[in-house]
A = this chain, B = another copy of it.
Amino acid sequence: MKILEGGLDNLNVKTAGIRNGKNGLALIVFDQVCKAEGVFTTNRMSAAPVQITRERIKNGIQAIVATSGNANCATGEQGLRDAESIAWKAAEELGIDEKNVAIASTGIIGEYLDTSLIKKQIEEGVKSLGKNSSKAAQAIMTTDTRPKELCMDFGRFKIAGIAKGSGMIHPHMATMLCFIVTDAEFEGGVLRKAVDETLNMVSVDNDMSTNDTVLLVSVGDKRVDGFAEALRIFLEEIAGMLIADGEGVNKLVEIRVVGAKNKGEARAAAHAIADSMLVKTSVFGNNANWGRVAAAVGYSGAEIDMERMKIWYGIGGKKILLYNGAAMEVDKEGIEDLMKKNDKIEIVVDLGLGDGEARAWSGDLSYEYVKINASYS
């Protein structure tokens, strides 16, 4: 596998990105109606564009219209009409069928869209369609500090995409948009499975967005082996990009739980560690506070045997055993020094009960997180 510069520009798609202050618009347009699969927020307070796109992708997709700055959520009937009018406008400008236009939005909840601005942006975007992957990635940013685009070349086929994340990144992908295109054929269900192993194991805070949308579109018909695994690798990389640019995140925490009774319990334990505010703040403070990790595993619902459990912290290439049925004697200051010097921390927990394994990704919780979310409105 090779990583290529240029994101979506490596595949046969046209893109555009427009931004007016905090209001951005991204367009991704395909030559024909393409097979698509989607994974959406499971939040019952789902935004208007989610409600609409969830139905539309069944028809196949010829264009994706994504807007940032306003989530168009909790906006009732008018929100649905606004979302439909955007899709309609894009279809008209592109000369395609409205039912093949997917829409997605991200931003503040509970305000009505400025549809006249968005319609102007659509006109402008359609005129500038071309190889603009990075502009499109920029257009969907909210509190993200950098655009996220990625292309992986697996030899026989490529997977490329743009994404935005930042706050509310939680199990089930809060305020995450991710649009993935490949020239390979894919089987139904492949996206759901890959998302469950990657994006759904990411936690910045504990909130789940109303707008999460991940779309996978095929622009080719290459029959290939190993697409599912390739997609998982691709989304794991995206997950890392989202965490690294999470609100106020300075350190990436990679969590691995092994030895759980089964996979479900491993996932529950990994999630609990990833979500723990006390673990996050201890990482921010360069504290290898493994007791908080143990406590999180203890309330995760996973079966544990305190005497069989082991906890390691992996820092700067060193793997330090901190708990082995009981607390270990360790060089606390040495570990604190190591944590200060490294911006990636690995936490490994072996429950010693079975062969259930899972991974999750998290970050530290900093003053900056509080600042961003106290003022965002």
Question: Which one of A106-114, A190-198, A232-240 is at the interface?
Answer: A106-114
Q: Is A187's beta carbon under 8 Å from chain B? A: no
Contacts of A73 in B (CB 8 A): 291, 294-295
Contacts of A208 in B (CB 8 A): 295, 298-299
Report yes or no: A110 in contact with B294, Cβ–Cβ below 8 A. Answer: yes
Q: Is A79's beta carbon under 8 Å from chain B? A: yes
Q: Is A278's beta carbon under 8 Å from chain B? A: yes
Q: Is A117's beta carbon under 8 Å from chain B? A: no
Q: Is A303's beta carbon under 8 Å from chain B? A: yes
Q: Flag A4-46 by CB within 8 Å of B: 1 or 0 each.
A: 0000000000000000000000000000000000000011111
Identify A326's interface contact among B79, B322, B370, B377, CB under 8 A: B79
Contacts of A302 in B (CB 8 A): 44
Contacts of A44 in B (CB 8 A): 297-299, 302-304, 306
Q: Is A78's beta carbon under 8 Å from chain B? A: yes
Q: Is A184's beta carbon under 8 Å from chain B? A: no
Q: Give the distance to chain B from A318, nearest Cβ to Cβ, in Å.
A: 19
Q: Is A227's beta carbon under 8 Å from chain B? A: no
CA distance A371 to B284 in the complex (A): 9
Q: Is A3's beta carbon under 8 Å from chain B? A: no
Q: Is A350's beta carbon under 8 Å from chain B? A: no
Q: Flag A58-93 by CB within 8 Å of B: 1 or 0 each.
A: 000000000000010111111100000000000000
Identify A373's interface contact among B77, B285, B307, CB under 8 A: B285
Q: Is A261's beta carbon under 8 Å from chain B? A: no
Q: A172-B299, A278-B168 are in contact. Are A287 and B374 (CB under 8 A)?
A: yes
Contacts of A45 in B (CB 8 A): 294-295, 297-299, 304, 306
Contacts of A377 in B (CB 8 A): 282, 285, 287, 289
Q: Is A206's beta carbon under 8 Å from chain B? A: yes
CA distance A109 to B326 in the complex (A): 11
Q: Give the distance to chain B from A217, nearest Cβ to Cβ, in Å.
A: 27
Q: A367-B370, A370-B365 are in contact. Are A296 and B207 (CB under 8 A)?
A: yes
Q: Give the distance to chain B from A258, nearest Cβ to Cβ, in Å.
A: 17
Report yes or no: A75 in contact with B278, Cβ–Cβ below 8 A. Answer: no
Report yes or no: A281 in contact with B374, Cβ–Cβ below 8 A. Answer: yes
Q: Is A224's beta carbon under 8 Å from chain B? A: no
Report yes or no: B374 in contact with A112, Cβ–Cβ below 8 A. Answer: no
Most buried by B among A167, A172, A285, A371: A285
Report yes or no: B373 in contact with A299, Cβ–Cβ below 8 A. Answer: no
Report yes or no: A276 in contact with B206, Cβ–Cβ below 8 A. Answer: yes
CA distance A167 to B289 in the complex (A): 15
CA distance A111 to B370 in the complex (A): 31
Residues on A close to B: CB < 8 A?
Answer: 42-46, 71, 73-79, 108-112, 167-168, 172, 205-210, 275-278, 281-282, 284-285, 287, 289-292, 294-299, 302-304, 306-307, 322-323, 325-327, 365-367, 369-371, 373-377
14 pairs from A and B in contact (CB 8 Å cutoff): A44-B298, A44-B304, A74-B294, A110-B327, A206-B206, A207-B277, A207-B278, A207-B299, A208-B298, A210-B295, A281-B373, A285-B373, A287-B374, A289-B377
> Knowing that A45-B295, A73-B291, A109-B292 are A-B contacts, what are 7 other residue pairs whose CB atoms are under 8 Å apart, sorted by A's residue number?
A74-B291, A110-B323, A168-B278, A281-B370, A281-B373, A284-B370, A287-B377
